[in-house]
Amino acid sequence: MTQLALVIDLNVCVGCHACVTSCKQWNSSGAAGPMTDDMPYGKDPSGTFFNRVQTYEVGRFPFTETIHFPKSCLHCEDAPCVPVCPTGASHKQEKDGIVLVDYDKCIGCGYCSWACPYGAREFDEHEKVMKKCTLCVDRIYDESLPEAERRPACVISCPANARLFGDVHDPESVVSIAIRESGGYALMPELGTQPANHYLPRHKTKTHIHEDELVRVDNPLKKEGPLPIDEEGGFLEDTTSW
């Protein structure tokens, strides 16, 4: 059986959130939308997202590093969110393994959210239904689009090519090759959910911090002397367009 999924390279992701914004844009106007926001510029913003990027700082100064961790529905092969749904709204497609929610059947009970160990389900306060990543199912099968664009919006928009899309059951697919050659792994495999999405690990680069690198040096501008003054006594920066 085909199992479509994402493979995310943590060694390449820079945390730019292009995947988040492109996902929001495509799905807000697509079949899975709307994706509402409440007070997006206020003190306590909230909203519905299919994809989020969580950023962590690990280690102890000066040996610290920043990790950007994109997270969305993992389209588990043994998805725990499916059997707990009392209406059958949460289901897994046989043809491609994508886990979806039928909004017409969803009653917003939240059982699927409680069953998901990855926190990938989102409750839309306005629509009163559960929502999640669909792998842009309305896009990847759209024959009106060029074949190169029949991929999830997050994959197309990633400037670092940190996101791959394909069939993880096909050993010759780009995602299977990446998993095999780069040591890809599933998230929390001990839970037995068999996540379809995989991550490629970060590669640590050894660095040596010299003692003088920990001392803040003077602002180099102070060593350039006073700013040049024109004939009228003003600074050139005030009268000249650079």
Name residue 87's amino acid. T
Distances (CA, A) of 82 to 95, 139, 152, 167: 16, 23, 22, 21
pLDDT, tens digit, 9 for 90 and up, residues 148-203: 999 999 999 999 999 999 999 999 999 999 999 999 999 999 999 999 999 999 88
Q: Which stretches in the chain have pLDDT values below 70?
A: 205-207, 212-242
* Dihedrals phi, psi of 20, to nearest 5 degrees: -70, -50
- Please list, in sequence order, all residues whose beta carbon lies within 8 angstroms of the beta carbon of residue 185, skipping any fewer than 6 positions away: 198, 199, 201
* Domain 4-200: top CATH class: alpha beta
